[in-house]
Amino acid sequence: QDGISLVDEAAEVFCASNGEVKQNIVSKPNAIGYLSLGLVDDTVRALDVDSVQATSENILAGTYPVARPFLFVTKGEPAGEVKEFIDYVLSAEGQELVASENYIRVDQ
């Protein structure tokens, strides 16, 4: 097809973070990766799935089928600075910051 380049061999790269995934996508021609919507910008392109665009609205509506929740995992019940951080992220101010970075607020 026009505009599609084929590679001779497939390669798998395992990354430890979203940032590393994005760096690999940006730096390698023909790369594809699974990346949080909040990190999609003009250096990477989100793929449409079944002609549905990767947008917050489509994810919330359930029409974009590739989505995952963001989870905080703690050892035991959160306490101290860990609890303060989680409480901040879930606060109105924290959720404004979440939305400003193109992530989906928990109250949507």
> Domain residue spans in the chain?
1-68, 69-108
Asked if the model's pLDDT at residue 99 lies above 90, the reply is yes
Q: Are 102 and 38 in contact (CB under 8 A)?
A: yes
pLDDT greater than 70 at residue 86:
yes
pLDDT in tens, 24-82: 999 987 889 999 999 999 999 999 999 999 999 999 999 999 998 889 999 999 999 99
pLDDT at 26: 94
Give CATH for domain 1-68: 3.40.190.10
This prediction's pTM? 0.73
Q: Are 44 and 24 in contact (CB under 8 A)?
A: no
